[in-house]
């Protein structure tokens, strides 16, 4: 998580004893690999094979799965269907989550037209933009709504996740409006650090950050290579 680094512990009645944060971040990867296996017709899979497909170590995978109480069968492996069910339910994918997308520009339009949402249990319920020229436009089968409709849309459509795809300048304002409307989970594509009250989760996806991290390693590799050459 990006805000409080606390574990998702809580000892919720008879529920799970709490799933570590790092594990939660990997569950979607496992889930995707499992779906791929199911599509090929496999019904069981060993931790070794699944770990390979997910790009992690097998021990890590087993420990991750043990955290959500899901049991495999020793000597055989995990039942693919059962594991899909367990992980999905842990991630809260039993229900369809409604998403509101704010900022229908370059990126926003690509996101709106993206099919990968619906496949994974998410529904783009509405598109919102501040530009009066854009309001009323139809994008990906949805009419773009003005900002002031946000509270109503969130309420009527049962929206619980907000996606921000506006320039960095407007991001904090949009964020505040989303929070005011009752949204407690935000995915932020704008290169800005958002200030939110406790209880609200923000995940930031920053393309430039990723490139700069790559740049660092590339730089280091180049320096290392030069050193070897000069040696």
Ligand X SMILES: NC(=O)c1ccc[n+]([C@@H]2O[C@H](COP(=O)([O-])OP(=O)(O)OC[C@H]3O[C@@H](n4cnc5c(N)ncnc54)[C@H](O)[C@@H]3O)[C@@H](O)[C@H]2O)c1
Residues that bind ligand X (CB under 6 A): 102-108, 110-111, 114, 116, 129-131, 134, 147, 165-168, 170, 173-174, 189-191, 207
Choose one: 20-28, 126-134, 141-149, 172-180; the region binding its own copies (CB under 8 A): 20-28
Q: Which is nearer to ligand X, 36 or 225 (CB)?
A: 36
CB of 136 to ligand X, least distance (A): 13
Cα 5 from Cα 189, distance rounded (Å): 21
Cα 226 from Cα 229, distance rounded (Å): 5
Cα 195 from Cα 108, distance rounded (Å): 22
DSSP H helical ranges for 21-68? 21-40, 47-54, 58-67
Q: Which is nearer to its own copies, 76 or 223 (CB)?
A: 223
CB of 139 to its own copies, least distance (A): 12
Cα 184 from Cα 138, distance rounded (Å): 27
Of 41, 116, 141, 198, the residue at the interface with its own copies (CB under 8 A) is 116
Of 111, 125, 154, 174, the residue at the interface with its own copies (CB under 8 A) is 111
Q: Which is nearer to ligand X, 91 or 139 (CB)?
A: 139
The rounded Cα 220 to chain-centroid distance in angstroms is 30
Cα 67 from Cα 140, distance rounded (Å): 39
Residue 92 has which token pair? 């809260």
Cα 40 from Cα 48, distance rounded (Å): 18
Task: Report what 147 binds from ligand X, its own copies, DNA, none; CB cut-off 5-8 Å by kind.
Answer: ligand X
Q: Which of 106, 105, 99, 145 is CA-nearest to residue 123?
A: 99
201 binds its own copies (CB under 8 A): yes
Of 52, 58, 160, 200, the residue at the interface with DNA (CB under 7 A) is 58
- Residues ≥6 apart with Cβ < 8 Å to 34: 45, 50, 80, 83, 84, 87
97 binds its own copies (CB under 8 A): yes
Q: Which of 95, 104, 108, 99 is CA-nearest to residue 147?
A: 104
73 binds DNA (CB under 7 A): yes
93 binds its own copies (CB under 8 A): yes
Binding-site ranges for DNA (CB under 7 A)? 5, 7, 20-23, 45-48, 56-60, 62-63, 65-66, 70-78
């Amino acid at each position: 998580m990006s805000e409080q680094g606390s574990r998702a512990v809580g000892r919720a009645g008879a529920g799970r004893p709490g799933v570590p944060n790092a594990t939660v971040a990997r569950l979607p990867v496992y889930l995707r690999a499992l779906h791929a296996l199911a599509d090929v017709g496999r019904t069981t899979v060993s931790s070794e094979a699944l770990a390979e497909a997910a790009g992690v170590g097998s021990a890590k995978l087993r420990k991750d799965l043990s955290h959500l109480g899901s049991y495999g069968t020793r000597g055989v492996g995990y039942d693919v269907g059962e594991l899909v069910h367990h992980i999905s339910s842990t991630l809260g994918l039993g229900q369809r989550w409604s998403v509101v997308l704010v900022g229908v520009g370059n990126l926003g339009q690509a996101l709106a037209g993206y099919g990968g949402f619906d496949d994974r249990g998410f529904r783009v319920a509405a598109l919102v933009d501040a530009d009066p020229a854009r309001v009323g436009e139809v994008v990906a089968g949805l009419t773009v709504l003005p900002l002031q409709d946000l509270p109503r849309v969130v309420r009527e459509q049962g929206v619980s996740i907000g996606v921000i795809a506006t320039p960095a300048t407007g991001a904090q304002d949009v964020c505040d409006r989303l929070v005011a409307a009752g949204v407690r989970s935000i995915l932020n594509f704008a290169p800005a650090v958002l200030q939110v009250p406790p209880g609200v989760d923000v995940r930031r996806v920053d393309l430039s950050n990723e490139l700069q991290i790559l740049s660092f390693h590339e730089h280091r590799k180049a320096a290392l290579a030069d050193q070897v050459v000069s040696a």
